Structure 1
Amino acid sequence: MNRPSPTAVERVDHGHRYDLLVGAEHAGRTEYRDRGVQRVFHHTEVDAAFAGQGLAPLLVGEALADVRRSGMRIVPVCPYVAAYLERHREFDDITDPVTPEVLRWLDAELA
């Protein structure tokens, strides 16, 4: 994998997202909404110009590590975040299931 550098992941609370930066360029994001102590991830994308460079796992891994440091829990509505968690079991202790109640809440939040 040929990862461009330097890369950074920044939490943008007012935008409910983590931004992936490659140098000064915005390269992607993972979006969330907070529901009490749960951080509900609902969308992740890496811009096409940066596809195939191994940046999505970097973005999600850094975001989930930040959730742990923040004392919160993860709810993986986003399919990419869910797939990442299947491969990275070290987050099992802070991952909550996606339930119909969470999905109804998220729909209302995003409306």
Structure 2
Amino acid sequence: MASETEIRLEETGSGGVYVLRPEAGEAARMTFSRAGDHLIVIDHTEVPEAFRGQGIGLKLVQRAVEDARRSGRKIIPLCPFARAQFQRHPDYSDVLES
């Protein structure tokens, strides 16, 4: 399984994407948009079929949670996968926008 240090954050003015490339070629991605200075909305997570079941999607969500904690941001997980991870991990509640 890929480690957190392999996750790359690519930001734009209005959002960004977390990218994890476990092997050459395909990459897992989780996109987000900004809703103000202190709020991000995770809107899509995509993990290639070959990497499913390895915890890669969870690693992307964990990285976003850690980044939100460091920056004082909150997260709205609109993406069904990210929303499910927030439900499974109550320890993420400190960054969940209520």
Q: Could you state the TM-score of these two structures normalised by the residue count of structure 1?
A: 0.73
Are residues 6 and 34 of structure 1, via their aligned partners in 2, closer, same or farther at CA, if it must alter by over 3 Å? closer
Q: What secondary structure, in the 3-state scheme, does the structure 1 residue paired with 2:94 have?
A: helix
Deviation, 1:7, is 6.3
**2:10 alignment counterpart:** 12
Paired with 2:45 and 2:8, the residues of 1 have a C-alpha distance of 14
For these two proteins, the number of residue pairs brought into alignment is 95
Is the alpha carbon distance of 1:68 and 1:25 closer, same or farther for their aligned partners in structure 2, counting shifts above 3 Å? Answer: farther
**1:29-85 C-alpha deviation (Å, 9 max, x unpaired):** 111000111100010011122122221111211122112112111001111111101
Aligned partners of 1:6 and 1:13: how far apart in 2? 17
> What is the match of residue 53 of structure 1?
54
**CA separation in 2, counterparts of 1:5 and 1:61?**
11
Aligned CA RMSD, in angstroms, stands at 2.1
Q: Which residue of 2 aligns with 1:42?
A: 43
2:7–2:20: 8 Å Cα contact kept in structure 1? yes
Distance in 2, matches of 1:73 and 1:92, equals 9
Q: Can you give the 5+ residue segments of structure 1 that lack an aligned partner in the other structure? A: 98-111
Identity fraction in percent:
37
Unaligned runs of 5+ in 2: none
Give the TM-score taking structure 2 as reference length: 0.82
8 Å Cα contact 1:7-1:21 kept in structure 2: no
Structure 1 runs, 4 residues or longer, greater than 2 Å off: 3-7, 23-27
Tell me the residue number matched to 1:94.
95
Whether the 8 Å contact between 1:7 and 1:23 is mirrored in structure 2 is no
Structure of larger gyration radius: 1
